[in-house]
Amino acid sequence: MFQALLDLREQVSSDLGLELVQDMRAETYFELERKRTRDRRRSFLYSSVIWRLLKWLWFSLNPQDEYLGAYSKLKGKR
């Protein structure tokens, strides 16, 4: 049964073009997350303040709908 699960996992990953993580230890996961956090922080610090303000303005004028976020719009159309 476990082998069938591994085979299915391999098939899905190849169909989607994903690379499976072989080292699934918690230490490896947390180290990768720390690296990603450092990269995000560095990217944020080096990005332009004007660019961030423009993105904030664009999002505030055109907010993205979330799951059931457009429910009130759809409810009025019925």
Q: In the predicted model, what is the mean pLDDT of residues 4-13? A: 85
73 lies in which domain range?
2-77
pLDDT at 71: 56
**pLDDT for residue 75 is more than 60:** no
Q: Which whole-number Å values give the CA distances from 17 to 5, 10, 30, 32, 50, in the listed order?
A: 18, 10, 24, 21, 37
Q: How far apart are the first and last CA of the chain?
A: 48
Residue 67: is it exposed, middle or buried by C-beta count within 10 angstroms (0-12/13-18/19+)? exposed
pLDDT at 66: 58
Split into its structural domains, the chain has a count of: 1
pTM over 0.95: no
pLDDT at 72: 57
pLDDT digits (tens, 9 = 90+) for 20-69: 777 778 999 999 999 999 999 998 888 788 888 888 888 888 777 655 55
